[in-house]
């Protein structure tokens, strides 16, 4: 009798486990993602002579080329693959629902991420274009109503950035007024595509929450300047959200930090590398070509590649921030003057850590 009970119990357990297994199998629905990754041709081919423009087709538009060798992975899983020579990739066996795809390649300023809905028993087809860099350099050395700086920052940064296949626009001194700069932002906006990225560099005077432009005056009720709120509004209007702002001015950190500041760029999703905190001055060399203290070490980290700590032939914002911060601290320590204090600060609330230089 006892044997019979045990046998019946065992049969019920087997039946129950079979039913549960069947239910689980039925409830787990999977699909696949097939796609094509392309990149602007001028990024792959820095020299104009090297560009081999592809014929437009339904697969690859004019001016783009396959980003072969790029790594495509699914966040939170071990699913990953490499892009083939024709730009195609295939990821199979993905769980139903929204999945985040990450695309990584040496040519990219930062890993690109896309949200894709995976449908069960369906190959979801996606198309991911990768864009180019656009730079706007604003340098005010001689002001109409303010003390001159005699700075060479904008020229030095321009000379460095124009070595790559990028769109670089520079505006200086009397041309660096609000009307002209807003017009330039509009021009850049018309050129940008969602997959592109924008880097804005500013060198000049700054006070709490603002960057002083050529005609700036403290007594002017409508001063010639760009405030943190205005910068945020300008960035919000751009087709791309991949935007980095680099500032060498006094109180540079007040654009996203500080007690009195509006902090409009704090947690905005935009990356800001500032030469000093909200309360600090930013200093300039007298006998070193007119470079700012921050800009000199910023450029040295890029030119000498000293900021490439992991030696992957690309330098990110976090790497150049770390290099510049410690290089400035070393020089300040050598001076042994407690009155001289300046430390760069970084705002990157989404941990994007974009690449700003590759070699």
The pLDDT of residue 292: 93
The pLDDT of residue 113: 76
How far is residue 210's CA from residue 93's CA, in Å, rounded to a whole number? 51
> How would DSSP label each residue in 91-155?
EEEEESEEEEEEEE-TTSSS-EEEEEEEPTT-EEEEEEEE--EEEEEEE--S-SSS------HHH
pTM (predicted TM-score): 0.73
Residue whose entry in the numeric block shows the structure tokens 């509004």: 233
What is the 8-class DSSP label of residue 175? G
Domain boundaries, the chain: 29-130, 133-358
Which residues, in sequence order, are CB contacts of 302 under 8 Å at separation 6+? Answer: 160, 315, 320, 356, 357
- Write b or e for each residue in 77-108: b if 16 or more Cβ atoms lie within 10 A of its Cβ, otherwise e: eebebebeeebebebeebbbeebebebebebb
SS3 at position 163: coil
How far is residue 197's CA from residue 110's CA, in Å, rounded to a whole number? 10
How far is residue 74's CA from residue 194's CA, in Å, rounded to a whole number? 22
Task: Decide the pairing of beta strands 314-316 and 64-66.
Answer: unpaired
CATH topology of domain 133-358: Rossmann fold (3.40.50)
* Helix (H) or strand (E) segment spanning residue 39: strand 30-40
Which residues, in sequence order, are CB contacts of 238 under 8 Å at separation 6+? Answer: 188, 189, 192, 198
CA 336 to each of CA 332, 340, 343: distance values in angstroms, whole numbers, following the listed order = 7, 9, 15
* Helix (H) or strand (E) segment spanning residue 21: helix 2-27
The pLDDT of residue 250: 95
How far is residue 272's CA from residue 253's CA, in Å, rounded to a whole number? 9
How far is residue 89's CA from residue 81's CA, in Å, rounded to a whole number? 7
CA 266 to each of CA 225, 248, 272, 282, 325: distance values in angstroms, whole numbers, following the listed order = 19, 18, 9, 20, 20
The pLDDT of residue 20: 36
CATH topology of domain 29-130: Immunoglobulin-like (2.60.40)
Average pLDDT, consecutive stretches of 10 residues, N- to C-terminus, the chain (359 residues): 47 40 50 79 57 47 78 90 86 86 77 79 68 89 90 91 79 95 96 87 93 92 92 94 94 86 85 95 84 95 92 87 96 86 94 80
């Amino acid at each position: 009798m006892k044997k019979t009970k045990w046998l019946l119990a065992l049969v019920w357990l087997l039946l129950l486990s079979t039913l549960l297994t069947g239910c689980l199998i039925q409830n787990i629905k999977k699909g696949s993602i097939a796609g094509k990754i392309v990149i602007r041709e001028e990024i792959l081919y820095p020299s104009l002579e090297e560009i081999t423009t592809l014929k437009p087709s339904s697969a690859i538009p004019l001016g783009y080329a396959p980003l072969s060798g790029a790594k495509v992975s699914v966040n939170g899983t071990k699913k990953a693959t490499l892009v083939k020579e024709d730009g195609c990739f295939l990821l199979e066996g993905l769980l139903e629902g929204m999945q985040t795809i990450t695309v990584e390649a040496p040519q990219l300023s930062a890993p690109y991420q896309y949200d894709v809905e995976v449908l069960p028993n369906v190959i979801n087809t996606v198309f991911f274009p990768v864009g180019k860099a656009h730079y706007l350099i604003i340098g005010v050395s001689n002001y109409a109503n303010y003390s001159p700086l005699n700075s060479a920052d904008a020229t030095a940064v321009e000379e460095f950035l124009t070595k790559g296949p990028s769109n670089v626009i520079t505006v200086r001194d009397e041309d660096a007024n609000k009307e002209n700069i807003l017009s330039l932002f509009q021009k850049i906006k018309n050129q940008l595509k969602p997959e592109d990225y924008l880097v804005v560099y500013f060198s000049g005077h700054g006070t709490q929450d603002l960057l002083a432009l050529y005609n700036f005056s403290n007594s002017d009720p409508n001063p010639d300047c760009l405030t943190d709120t205005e910068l945020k509004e300008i960035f919000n209007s751009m087709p791309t959200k991949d935007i980095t702002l680099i500032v060498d001015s006094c109180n540079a950190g007040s654009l996203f930090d500080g007690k009195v500041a509006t902090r409009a760029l704090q947690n905005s999703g935009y990356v800001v590398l500032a030469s000093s905190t909200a309360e600090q001055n930013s200093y300039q060399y007298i006998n070193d070509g007119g470079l700012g203290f921050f800009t000199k070490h910023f450029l040295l980290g890029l030119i000498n590649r000293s900021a490439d700590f992991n030696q992957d032939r690309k330098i990110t914002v976090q790497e150049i921030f770390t290099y510049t911060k410690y290089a400035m601290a070393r020089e300040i320590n050598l001076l042994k003057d407690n009155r001289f204090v300046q430390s760069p600060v970084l705002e990157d609330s989404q941990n994007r850590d974009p690449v700003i230089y590759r070699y």
